[in-house]
Amino acid sequence: MTRHPVPGPSAERADTQQGAPTPYAGPVTAQLSEARLPEARLSEARLSEGRLFEEPLPEEPTDAELARRGASGDQEAFTLLMSRYRTMIHATCLRIVGDPDDAGDAVQETLIGVWRGLPGFRSDARFSTWLYRIAVNAALKETGRQNSRPLPVDELPERKEPVSSVADRVTDGLSVRRALALLPLDFRVAVVLRDCCGCEYSEIAGILGIPINTVKSRISRARQALADLLRPNDDPGEM
């Protein structure tokens, strides 16, 4: 039987000197090591402790769960729930009311209304729909205190050309708020719920308590009016 000699340390050094590759341990390797995902480092730590399976991360509570806890007096759950919608509530109230100060009052009324109404919220209902109904009512209440004169419904322009781009422009700044303020209130609320809040037609119908076809008609005519009001270089004072 032929025995093959085992290379010793001197032979290994010789191989290295003859051009055998050596592991790179420069700064790039260190950076890549540090760039590992935290989950990977956590897994290694757990393996070193003898735990072969990672513990699942806690799931985010649903709106319904937070609403149930809030209804029982859990203020932390209520705060978390409102943090998910506060920006959209403010945007909705601002575009309906028009005035930032009045919109702030409407937001506060909405929060109070939600807190008081949580015990009556049905967990099988969609929380956002229920919330927007409260926000719209609060905004309408504030609007009723203002001395605004919107365009009469029968004076809105009837046009046939497409106005799909208005849906993208309705979330813009001050010029859009001013244009919205000129719309009849019913049309303003419908188009804000659709193009600002992203509500489905069926949701808007439920929030406003009107048929879906009425919702679609109001939104269509509101977009047409906004398209005219927001058309660039359309100054009636210029000839």
Helix axes 127-143, 201-208, angle to 10 degrees: 50
Residue 79 · residue 111 · CB < 8 Å: no
pLDDT bin (cut points 50, 70, 90) of residue 178 is confident
Average pLDDT, the chain: 75
45-97 pLDDT, tens digit each: 444 455 445 555 568 899 999 999 999 999 999 999 999 999 999 999 999 99
115 burial level (CB within 10 Å; 0-12, 13-18, 19+): middle
pLDDT bin (cut points 50, 70, 90) of residue 124 is confident
Residue 186 · residue 154 · CB < 8 Å: no
6-52 pLDDT, tens digit each: 555 555 444 445 555 444 444 433 433 444 444 444 445 444 455 44
Residue pointed to by tokens 């303020």: 181
Report angle CA 102, 107, 109 to the nearest 5 degrees.
Answer: 95
Average pLDDT, stretch 137-155? 68
- How far apart are alpha carbons 228 and 237 in whole angstroms? 15
**Reported pTM:** 0.61
